[in-house]
Structure 1
């Protein structure tokens, strides 16, 4: 088959997928990068999709159980000193560089034999997860001498307060995300704790997630990611795609985020760009997000890469 025939066949497949994946009942509203809060402290350059710290916008106080989505860059040899958290599910998603996470009990130079979740160097593709629960303290530093670290910090509201504090750290490599993209899929990263809100102490200790291979979260919440080459299309299965893996199947929400991986100029098609559900009014550039509402477990949200660079797409699926 000639190159032209291959391209024509691929185009026809994309059109077929698009026509079969339209969620006519769904509402999709972009959240432009320019409408995010922005704080530049020199050592920390942070964009806030939702109200956070010294930036407040009543239009953006959360989305379902999603409360915080910060896109952070931390300069070398700087970071967040030891600080407490409680009653939030908090996770960092590594994009580039290396973020060193230390439990407050772990001292620098004394890491030998320490649990890998209490001390970890979060690199690209890693997810470091914290259940704040009754109270936990840790630090997050960029200990590299020259390289900036770029990551997403995300907070979700748990299904109840006073949970036992816990850490989890897992890796979700680029290779798996690209292979998923070739299949038209996302890699699932978070899913609810299988035992649910009434988990016993033993079930908390076992930490079995609803979806094998994911990190368990104490919330009706899911997360996925994929790496879409230009022209590729992937489908996110709302509610993680399986009955029983979410506690509220109807009236779900999905927030889609396209991190700033190339920092291209606005509307420069040489950077990453995606289109949601085949809608021309739901095209996202780097730094943009989108509120997807009125969807249900089992719906398929289509994401197309239509820019000039590979698109790293993160989806947050919430009741």
Structure 2
């Protein structure tokens, strides 16, 4: 396979180098410094600040707690996760469907913390563990109005190529109140985020490859960086190779920093394991 990123720097971030905590009800891995785990070299990557891979046991979870001035999103890998916040309280759901609150595989729940919002993330299932990614980004402005979005992204689409999930708010940093309410993303059919960051996901069959176009044509900064994460979904059976490089092969739980790239560059992700690989892309300035 020919390389497509001739000058790019790709640095692997092995799962064994992540922070890890097993609290009984919660088994969590931190790709970046978080909570009691601190690594001064892992304080973020562009707008990306937190990437936690969490498993929460049945009838347990994160009780109501407060956030502000972060963009926070959960990507459900298996099981179910119920999100409730200070804008959507238990017992006061009104006409919203049960699914809106109780998320399942393929669902993404997004919160703009802004001036402050209190929320809980709880596994209300009686016996199944929920497995999900919790990701935080630093917004381009502080003091934003708290908002939330929930959207489903089908596996069938992800098996055909990378599916864009998040993209910057089209109106940008100077968005008016009306434009904030309209919440139009730069890339159609995605969730808008207040940051120069695009998130995508793909499910790649063994022996197949997907191509990621850096910047995703989202009109962000030209100079970019990309973080790739391979979640632990197949019991170690999935594995990927980036840009055809033998020193850029990732096993489940591993990540990779891709630097010195420019919008429009092409990153090839090849599935080289025995099982299909669910690949998360976080493309930022």
TM-score range relative to shorter protein: over 0.9
CA distance, structure 2, for counterparts of residue 25 and residue 115 of structure 1: 49
The 1:115/1:85 distance shift into structure 2, 3 A limit, reads: farther
- Considering only CA atoms, is the larger Rg found in Structure 1 or Structure 2? 1
Listed one character per residue, the Cα deviations across residues 245-278 of structure 1 (whole Å, up to 9, x for unaligned) are 233112x1100000000233xxxxxx10000000
More helix by share: 1
Residue in 1 aligned with 2:151?
170
More strand by share: 2
Does residue 1:80 correspond to 2:62, yes or no?
yes
Asked whether the equivalents of residues 92 and 154 of structure 1 are also in contact (C-alpha less than 8 Å), the reply is yes
CA distance, structure 2, for counterparts of residue 233 and residue 273 of structure 1: 12
Aligned with 1:175: secondary structure? helix
Moved more, 98-107 or 280-289: 98-107
The 1:123/1:300 distance shift into structure 2, 3 A limit, reads: same
Does residue 1:255 correspond to 2:222, yes or no?
no
CA distance, structure 2, for counterparts of residue 272 and residue 139 of structure 1: 32
Aligned counterpart for 2:13 among listed residues 31, 34, 39: 31
How far off is 1:179 after superposition? 2.3
How far off is 1:150 after superposition? 0.2
Listed one character per residue, the Cα deviations across residues 164-205 of structure 1 (whole Å, up to 9, x for unaligned) are 11000011110111122xxxxx11111100000000000000
Scaled by the length of structure 2, the TM-score of the pair is 0.97
Scaled by the length of structure 1, the TM-score of the pair is 0.87
Listed one character per residue, the Cα deviations across residues 259-309 of structure 1 (whole Å, up to 9, x for unaligned) are 000233xxxxxx100000000000000000000000010011100000000
Residue in 2 aligned with 1:306?
272
Mapping of residues 181-260 of structure 1, within 5 Å: 186-240=162-216, 242=217, 245-250=218-223, 252-260=224-232
How well do the aligned residues superpose, as a CA RMSD in angstroms? 1.4
CA distance, structure 1, for counterparts of residue 62 and residue 12 of structure 2: 31
How far off is 1:114 after superposition? 4.3
Listed one character per residue, the Cα deviations across residues 209-257 of structure 1 (whole Å, up to 9, x for unaligned) are 00001100000000100000101100111111x2xx233112x110000
Asked whether the equivalents of residues 116 and 169 of structure 1 are also in contact (C-alpha less than 8 Å), the reply is no
How far off is 1:111 after superposition? 2.5
CA distance, structure 1, for counterparts of residue 181 and residue 87 of structure 2: 20
CA distance, structure 1, for counterparts of residue 85 and residue 138 of structure 2: 21
Residue in 2 aligned with 1:161?
142
Aligned with 1:239: secondary structure? coil
Aligned with 2:101: secondary structure? strand
Moved more, 99-108 or 139-148: 99-108
Does residue 1:45 correspond to 2:27, yes or no?
yes
List alignment gaps of at least 5 residues for structure 1. 1-17, 181-185, 265-270
CA distance, structure 2, for counterparts of residue 29 and residue 126 of structure 1: 29
